[in-house]
Each structure stands twice: as structure tokens, then as C-alpha cells.
Chain A
Amino acid sequence: MKKYLSLIRACMTDNMSIFKINGKKRSEFSKKILPIVLAFICFFSIWSYANVFMEPLVEVHMEYVLLTLFAFFTCILTLTEGIYKSSSILFNCKDDNMLLSLPISKYLVLFIRILKFYLFEVLYNTLFMLPAMVVYARYIKVGISYWMTSIIALLILPIIPIIVSCIIGGIISLISSYFKKRSFAQTVITMGFLLVVLYGSINLENIIKRIAENAEGINEIITKLYFPIGNYIRLVTNFHFMDLFIFILTNIFVFTISIILFGKVYYKINSLTKNYKRENKNNKYNYKRSNKVIALIKKEFNRFFSSPVFITNAGFGLILFLIGCIGINLKLDSVIEIMAMQGVTITIEEIQNLISIILFGFICFTALMSSITSSMISLEGKTFNILKSLPVKTFEILISKIVTAVVIMIPVLFIGDILIFIKFSFSFLEMVMLIIDSIILPVTAETIGLIVNLKYPKMDAENDTEVVKQSASSMVSVLIGMIMIGITVYGLYKGLETGLESYQLIIYSTISYFIICSILLGYLYKIGVKDFEKISV
């Protein structure tokens, strides 16, 4: 037993240190204050959101539906994220050689990897679920049994979505291992799965939004769809020790059986994912010379397109932006209907009046939430030393990373712009401004991402998921993006209230972001370069 605990501890120590910073002395801020600040902001945002949800439910005395909904969305989030994270967490890990050579059961290795994944998900789910649990307790008088059940539910509810996402991740890895362009195949299949899950959850959301009049029905649908949520809600409304015992046992049973069954094919899939074929007999080589920065950009593109989790994380937001713009262009009536179902009533005339603001909001949201550069330094890993030994200026290296990310984003944003320009009438000035925004906003977002990654690099990750999804850098970047979106939306709202025209607001916003972007690039040139030099691998 001591051996197993020691193994688990060894495997966990490095990976769980989200705020570990390589090559730098950790300040008190990064060690203690930053995680608390991040957790507090998350908690407060979700707590406010949960309160908004709760008000109509109180009127119909169905407060427990709040817990059902939050538990359901948390599980959907775990499932969708798990689909593209699991391939990278479970297969072709850097510690394969060490772990697989140890005299331990192969099921234990699989268990440890799923456990790591599980612990991160519990951490994230707690950030989402806990505020809802607190809001519920604010409206309903609860006892110790409520808190006990809720804490157990936090631990139990992610189990099945994690198992399902691991199995889907396994299937994706298995299928893509037969393709020559493995990363590309993996990305396409993963995106396909994610769009299916998204489509399903959007349709469910349409039903869920009719909360007040049909709350019981929604509760039934969700609890039948995922039975542990039903068990949890039953325990919250009518606590019995025996039910709690059954709740725990069923999930542990499902987890154990899944590990045993999945373990039977896990090693086969894992060895297939490592099987890189060397069958290229062509010895005609291209010796074409490139400019230094172009060569650096090519290298960054190679890295980006070799990592399915990286592409999916960055690309999913861009695809949604594109789908949104195509939807507005081709099926505006349906978009208005969907918005009405979400409780947002808007006419075509109102959309026409506000379209430049709406498009600006879309661009802003897509750019600030799709930070690619927040992982680019960390993903260098041990190859970071190659960059440091090259005879190029550090700022050129940093700019090449921003340019790569921007080049990935801008074409998608331009296509979206054109689709909206075709559908609605814009003044020439508005079109020019929105095109400029489609450049400035990604540059701003990617500069922020890079600055944050230089502050919080994670150079010793076992896999890309740890960097792209589970690192301090990616979380802080998303948080800064959310704050900036909030400030922008508030500014636009206040501007409209004071009677400013749409085109004026777009001009002011563009100028503001241009100034912010210039300041950030200046900061990158002065401070970012020094941060780069300080990183040690």
C-alpha cells in the first residue's frame, strides 16, 4: 500500500502545482494571493449568475432545480472538455517509459492518469457548483446533511462524464492512429464530437430556458439523462443514509468496472499512438532559405498544428464565431427565434440599428476568449533552450508567436465580418473600423496571453493539456479576457444610454483598444523580453 501511495504522490506532485513557475523565485503573490483572487472572482461571478437563476425558481417553489441545472451544466462541461483533454492526458505521455517499466499493475497506471484528470475536474467543478450550493442554502433552510451530501456530490458527479470522455478520447486516438496526418485526424474527429455535444446541449438549453413554467419537466429530463444528479437531488430534498450509501457505491462500482474494461484496450491504443512510421523514402529535400521571423513563424505553425488539444482549444471559439456569422447571414429569423427562447426579444430593425455594436461585441468576445499565445512559451518545454541559443533578438521570437496566433485568427474574423457586411448595411467608416478591430483585438488578446505566459510559464508539463487547459497562464489569460469583455460591454451600454451613435462608439472603442495594444506591445518590448531571459529550463 505504501508503494502505491508513494507512486500516486510522485505522479501528482508536479502536475497539480498549477501555480508553479519554472526558473523564477515564486513571489507571495503568485503563491498565495493570485489563486485566492482568481477563485474569489470566479466564485462571485457564478454566485451572481446563480442568484439570477434562482429568483424565478423561488416563485414556483422549485429551488432544487437550480442544483439540477448547475450539476448538469458542470457535467456537460466536464464531458466536452474531457473529450479533447483525455487523448492528451491518457496517451503518449512523457512519463510512459518510467511508469510502464515499474513492477506495478497496468490498471494502476491507467487509474493514476484518470485520477489526475479527475482531481482537476473536481477542482473546476467545485468552482462552478459551490456558488450554486451556497445560493440554494441562502433560500432554503438546510442542515448538516445537505452540506455532507453536496460535498460528496462534488466528488461523485464528475466520475461518469470523465469515464465517458476518456472512452471517447480513446476512440478518437484509436481512429486517428490509423491516419498518416494523425494530429489533423484527431482534431477533426474531436471537433466533430464537440459539435455534436454542443448541438445536443443547445437543444436541451432551449427546453431548460422555460424554467419557470416547466421546471418539474426539466428536472425529470436531466435526472433521467444522468441518474447521479437525480440521486443527489433526492438526497437534498429527502435525506436518507441508505440512499447516500447507494449513491456512493453505485458510482464507485461504475468507476471500477470502467477502469477494468478500459484497461483491457488502453495499452493497445497507447502503443498505437506511439507508433510513428518512418516510411518516407523520398530523399529529395528543399533547402529554400527563409527570413528569420518567417522561419520562426513557420516553426510556431508546425507546433500549433501538431497539437490537437491546442487547435481544438483555440479553434472551437473561432468555429462558433463563424457559425454565428453564417447563421445571422443565412438564417436571421431562426437566430431571432433562438434568442427569443433565451429570453432576449429583439426585432430585425433593432438588430440593424445595433449591428455594428453587435459585430464588435462578437469580435471582442472571440478574440479575447481565444488566447493562443497564453500557452506558446510553456509548450516550448525543453526546446526552449534552442530558442535561447539562437542568434535572434528575443523580441523577434516573441513577435513571431503573436503573428502566428493573429494569422490563425484574422482570416476567420474577416470572413465573419464580410458575411455580416453583406447581410446588413454599414457605413464605410464603420466597415473600416470593424476591419481594424478584427486586427487590433486579436493582437491585444495575444499580447496579453504572451505577457501572462512569460509571467507564469510551465515548462515541465507531461502533456499539452496541462499547459493549454490546466496552467495558471491559460486561466489568468481567460480571466483577463473576461474582465476586458465585461468592461467593454459596460462601456458600450453606457455609451448607448448617453445617446452616442453606434459608429461613434465603434470609433471610441477602436481608439481605446489601439492605445491598450500599443501600451501592451511596449510592455512586451521592455519587460516581456526580460521575463523571457529569466525563464530557465
Chain B
Amino acid sequence: MIEIKNVTKSYNDKKAIDDVSFNVNDGEIFAFIGHNGAGKTTLIKSIVGIHNFEGGDILINGKSIKEEPVECKKQIAFVPDNPELYENMRAIDFINFICDMYEVKKEVREEKIKKYSELFEIENNLNDTINSFSHGMKQKIAIISALAHDPKVLIMDEPFVGLDPKAVHDTKEIMNEMIKEGKIVFFSTHILDVAEKLCSRVAIIKKGRLIKVGAMKEIKGDESLEKVFLELE
């Protein structure tokens, strides 16, 4: 479970996140939506331990990201919005590096890397250096390295940008598989159709403040998520 408790984060005295609180339960795909600059990426980076925040706390399965960052991070995999990877590494070396950080056993990483690289049709490119890859291929490497250590919590910032249609479909399938195992998938997106079909719960953020949070059905009622979102503007 992710518990976000009264989180406040400022940049140069301007509040990017203002007293945001909500929970994400086990076995949930949770969508986090809002327009550009609303504070989505700031909150996501706070959850995964990249950003410090001055107010409130974030608990990952009961552990505080402020107090026990390493223990929290062990349970999380993060896929950023822009796959900034180590360009001069070979893809396999990058994935192995991430696996080493999460202390993944050789047999486990071999099985996971094979599974996901074949799924994303990138199994013949893992010996190439990342600087030769397109944006979409880098995104696939970021996703494979996130999944290779079998995280309890998968956090993704705009995961579908740059992916081809098949990869988008496969990523959605992976998300569904994960929640069947009781894991958490939390992602931000601007593609509201995907959020509507995929997610059980949703949070809408505007100018750093949470304006709606709840079950997808409750939030949108009989309308489309897009319509609800636009009405909140």
C-alpha cells in the first residue's frame, strides 16, 4: 500500500504539491492525471525518493520514504517520463546494473530479461549500446529493467509515450498481470481513454492540489473521464 499523507513540496517558495493525501491499495492500477505543470511528476519523484519534500510523509507498505528510503526503494520500480539511461552502456549491462542494485539472483534476472525482451521484441538488441536506440527502444529498456527485479510497486510517469501500439498493449497486459498478484501499479498519463479502461481508481491534481480521488466509476459516473477532467478545468 502507498500512503501519501499531507505531502507538500515547494520550489523557491512556490508550492508544487500542496497538502496532498491519498492511498493506493494493493492490487490496484491507479491513474494519476492532471494537466502539464500540475505537479504529477513532482509527486511521483517524491514517492520514489528522488525529491525531498518538506511537509507530510509517504509510506510504502508501512515504511516511510523519508526515514527508510533504501527499504522503500527496494519495493519500487520507477519508469521515468523520459528514458534518460546510461547512453554508453550496452542495454544488457544497464539492465544487469539495475538488477545488481536490487540484488536479483542470476536465474531470476535471466528468466525475467528473456521474458520481457522477447515480449517487447528487443531480444536481439541487448548487446547494442543504448545511444544507438530510438526513444521507444529506450523506453522498452527502462520498462524491462523496472520489471526485471519483480517489484511490489510499479510507478510510471507517462509510460506509453514513444511506445509502438504493440508495446502499449503489452505494457497494459503486464499491468493487469501485476495486479492479479496483488501488486500496485501507479502511473501518470494524459491518455485518458487508457486510464479509464485500465484503472480501478484515479486521482486528479490541479496546481499542486488534489481535486478528486476515488474509484473510477465514482469519479466519472456515466460520463467519460475526458469530459469530467475538462469540466474540472
Contact = CB atoms under 8 A, between A and B. Distances in A.
B127 A390 contact: no
Interface string B200-223: 000000000000000000000000
A303 B88 contact: yes
Contacts of A392: 70, 101
Contacts of B76: 389
Contacts of B124: 281, 283
Contact of A283 (B73, B74, B100, B126): B126
Interface string B86-104: 1111001100111111111
A536 B129 CA distance: 27
Contacts of A289: 96, 99-100, 103-106, 109
A530 B72 CA distance: 19
B64 to A, nearest CB: 15
B86 A302 contact: yes
Nearest to B92: A285
A30 to B, nearest CB: 16
A381 B84 contact: yes
Contacts of A385: 45, 50, 80, 84
Contacts of A294: 100
B127 A393 contact: no
Given A383-B86, A390-B73, A393-B70, A299 B97 contact: yes
Contacts of A61: none
B224 to A, nearest CB: 34
B96 A286 contact: yes
Contacts of B123: 283
Contacts of A388: 49-50
B93 A302 contact: yes
B110 interface: yes
A277 B132 CA distance: 7
A220 interface: no
B163 interface: no
Contacts of B21: none
Nearest to B100: A295
Contacts of B82: 382
Nearest to B103: A292
A213 interface: no
Nearest to B47: A389
- Chain A interface, DSSP helix/strand/loop, else mixed: loop
A295 B48 contact: no
A302 B86 CA distance: 9
B51 A286 contact: no
Interface string B47-69: 01111100000000000000000
Contacts of A287: 96, 106, 109-110, 113
A276 B129 contact: yes
A286 B100 CA distance: 13
A337 interface: no
Interface string A88-111: 000000000000000000000000
Given A289-B105, A289-B109, A391-B102, A299 B89 contact: yes
Given A285-B113, A295-B97, A25 B78 contact: no
Contacts of B12: 25
Interface in A236-281: 276-278, 280-281
A283 to B, nearest CB: 5
Contacts of A391: 70-74, 101-102
Interface residues of B, number: 47
A302 B88 contact: yes
B6 interface: no
A282 interface: yes
B117 to A, nearest CB: 9
B128 interface: yes
Contacts of B45: 385
B96 A288 contact: yes
Contacts of B101: 292, 295, 390-392
Given A285-B127, A393-B70, A383 B85 contact: yes
A5 interface: no
A388 B84 CA distance: 13
B52 A283 contact: no
Given A390-B73, A391-B70, A391-B101, A383 B84 contact: yes
B23 interface: no
B125 interface: yes
B126 A278 contact: no
Contacts of B51: 536
Nearest to A294: B100
Nearest to A289: B106
A386 B74 contact: no
B16 to A, nearest CB: 11
A533 interface: yes
Contacts of A502: none
A278 B131 CA distance: 10
Given A287-B110, A391-B102, A299 B131 contact: no
A280 B109 contact: no
A534 B52 contact: yes
A383 B52 CA distance: 17
Contacts of B110: 287
A306 interface: yes
Nearest to B52: A533
Contacts of A536: 51
Given A303-B86, A381-B84, A383-B85, A389 B97 contact: no
10 contacts: A276-B132, A281-B124, A285-B92, A288-B96, A289-B106, A298-B93, A383-B84, A385-B45, A385-B50, A389-B73
Interface of B: 12, 45, 48-52, 70-74, 76, 78, 80, 82, 84-89, 92-93, 96-106, 109-110, 113, 123-129, 131-132
Query: What are the 9 closest A-B residue pairs judged by CB atoms, nearest first?
Result: A306-B88, A295-B100, A391-B73, A382-B84, A276-B132, A391-B74, A287-B110, A280-B127, A388-B50
Given A276-B131, A291-B100, A386-B86, 9 more contacts: A25-B12, A286-B96, A287-B109, A287-B110, A303-B86, A388-B49, A391-B72, A392-B70, A536-B51
